[in-house]
Amino acid sequence: MSDVLPGPEPFISQTAPSALDDLRTRLRATRWPDAPEDAGWALGTDLGYLRDLVAYWADGFDWPAQEAALARLPRFRVPVGGLGIHYVHARAVGPAGPVLPLVLTHGWPDSFWRYSKVIPLLTDPAAHGGDPADAFDVVVPDVPGFGYSQRPTGAPLDSIAVAGLWAELMSVLGYERFGAAGGDIGSHVSRYLALDHPDRVVAVHRTDAGIPLFTGDPEELAPEEREWLAEVAGWGAAEGAYAAMHRTKPQTAAFGLTDSPAGLAAWIVEKLRSWSDCEGDIERSFTRDEILTNITIYWLTETIGSSMRMYRANAAIPPAQLARRVDAPSGFSLFQGDVVRPPRGWLRRVANTTYATEPERGGHFAPFEEPESYAEELRAFFRPYR
């Protein structure tokens, strides 16, 4: 019996026609709710918009073409920690000096899709008007239970556990020293990579500082920090119902969202609109094909339930872990259209912040909304740490 563990294997996704036929049948049979006149987006997803999107999903959207486009990325799967991890591994083009590997971690509600536009800008900056010395080797995994990575069959993994998997993945790929970057759940994972693997993570870049935890005397905080904590609490009361569901009873929502593609679209589209820098018009940030590519990945992989369960796992992380300060050099790009953006004083409080900017355009999904700007942020931050 061989003790050699299986290595990375190329990953190709090719959806069976029967799966697409089933999807279209369900879309065409949608039973629509009523809505008050002129409700728009005030109560959640707009009925008229979703009707139009679902009609296009059923009869206009070309998933095989989108699947083929995603297949042009160098995608692989490898066992890590007992789970099959799907990832993109794109190597740098053209640099004369050392190449910095970079692991990028997505959040919810998306997958490796979040970084699909920015990967070529990071691996081959010279082809996009940049300096070839800024090229990265880029690794973009799907978090277990998201996208094409395997779903955990037992308890969901929290961000600390995923960070451990990514450290192992980078070892499998031959990278002992690397940078980490992410947003949303990916910000948490990147943070724990820096905290738990300080000998390997040279620097960490994030597009947010996570949900704040502060248990001390509020008088110790600067006025802008206190104002921000109040803003976060207000945002949670007005916008946080989805997260409360994910943290407490995700399985209840999973039944409907796994069975109804229209329901799944409603759950995801509202967040794409609310969290992006689209000024109320979601198609300023995403085309319909881009929106439906993200949603179709969730539908075909049946991962909406497992993705939501990660919120429950993260809610159980001990406060002492959440309060740890990141000593690794840390960069923050707080895009203007994102939610609950922290003040500079808070960034310095929670991390060894050496870089902080506020790009004018882009929101929560900045790598997809503004890939050129996001790529430049990563190049600028990581340049001293190569």
Secondary structure (DSSP) of 253-292: HHHHHHH-HHHHHHHHHHHHHHHSSSTT-GGGT--HHHHH
How deeply is 158 buried, as exposed, middle or buried, from its count of CB atoms within 10 A (0-12, 13-18, 19+)? buried
The answer to whether 356 and 341 have CB atoms below 8 angstroms apart is no
Asked if 57 and 265 count as a contact pair (C-beta separation under 8 A), the reply is yes
Give the active site residue among 311, 338, 355, 374: 311
Residue 105 bridge partners (DSSP): 182
Per-residue CA distances from 286 to 55, 66, 282, 383 (Å): 17, 14, 6, 30
**pLDDT exceeds 50 at position 269:** yes
Give 102's strand partners: 138, 179
The tens digit of pLDDT for each residue in 292-335 reads: 999 999 999 999 999 999 999 999 999 999 999 999 999 999 99
Percent of the chain with pLDDT strictly greater than 70: 99
Identify the pLDDT of residue 302: 98
Tell me which H or E stretch contains 21.
helix 17-28
pLDDT tens-digit readout, 207-220: 999 988 888 888 89
> How far is residue 363 from each of residues 59, 163, 340, 371, measured CA to CA in Å?
30, 24, 11, 11
Q: How far apart are the first and last CA of the chain?
A: 42
Taking only the tens place, the pLDDT of each residue in 64-106 is: 999 999 999 999 999 999 999 999 999 999 887 789 999 999 9
Task: Output the pLDDT for position 213.
Answer: 85
pLDDT of residue 95: 80
pTM of the model: 0.96
Q: What ranges in 115-158 are assigned the alpha helix state H?
A: 119-123
Residue 226 has a pLDDT of 94
Helix (H) or strand (E) holding 136: strand 136-141
**Residue 3: predicted pLDDT:** 55
Backbone angles phi, psi at 182, to 5 degrees: 180, 175
87: annotated active-site residue: no
Give which of 352, 377, 358 is closest to 367, Cα–Cα. 377
**136 bridge partner residues:** 100
Count of C-beta atoms within a 10 Å radius of residue 311: 20
To the query of whether residue 184 is one of the catalytic residues in this protein, the response is yes
Question: What is the tens place of the pLDDT at every residue in 151-197?
Answer: 999 999 999 999 999 999 999 999 999 999 999 999 999 999 999 99
Q: How far apart are CA 159 and CA 195, in angstroms?
A: 12
Whether 2 has a pLDDT exceeding 80, the answer reads no
- β-pairing, 326-333 vs 351-357, is parallel
- Who contacts 141 (Cβ-Cβ below 8 Å, separation ≥6)? 85, 86, 87, 88, 103, 105, 112, 149, 166, 169
Exposed / middle / buried, residue 239 (Cβ in 10 Å: 0-12, 13-18, 19+) = middle
At residue 356, the 3 state secondary structure works out as strand
Q: What is the pLDDT of residues 239-258, one digit of tens each?
A: 999 999 999 999 999 999 99
The domains of the chain, with CATH numbers, are 43-385 (3.40.50.1820)
Catalytic residue among 86, 89, 188, 364: 364
- Do 173 and 139 contact (CB within 8 A), yes or no? yes
Burial 317-326 (b: 16+ CB within 10 A, else e): eeeeebeeeb
Let me know if 364 is a catalytic residue. Answer: yes
**SS3 category, 226:** helix
Mean pLDDT of the chain: 96
d(CA 32, CA 51): 8
Give yes or no for a contact between 226 and 218, defined as CB atoms under 8 angstroms apart.
yes
List phi, psi (to 5°) of 103: -105, 125
Catalytic residue among 184, 208, 277, 338: 184
Check pLDDT > 80 for residue 4. Answer: no
